């Protein structure tokens, strides 16, 4: 049970890190598009 909880915690923090990375990439891409349309 403890191992399962640790795995869940790890997966959640990993997903959060991935989400943050994707969001920052998405923001830079959006900024590029906004500059392009100007």
Residue 37 confidence (pLDDT) = 75
**38: confidence class by pLDDT, cuts 50, 70, 90:** low
Residue 9, domain extent: 1-36
* Residue reference for tokens 């923090």: 13
For residue range 5-32, list pLDDT tens digits in order. 999 999 999 999 999 999 999 999 999 9
DSSP, residue by residue, 1-33: -HHHHHHHHHHHHHHHHHHHHHHHHHHHHHHHH
Q: What's the number of domains the chain is made of?
A: 1
- Residue 4's pLDDT is 94
* Structure token pair of residue 34: 């906004």
Q: What are the tokens at 1? A: 């049970």
């Amino acid at each position: 049970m403890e191992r399962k909880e640790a795995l869940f915690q790890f997966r959640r923090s990993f997903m959060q890190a991935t989400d943050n990375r994707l969001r920052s990439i998405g923001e830079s891409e959006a900024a590029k598009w906004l500059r392009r349309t100007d």
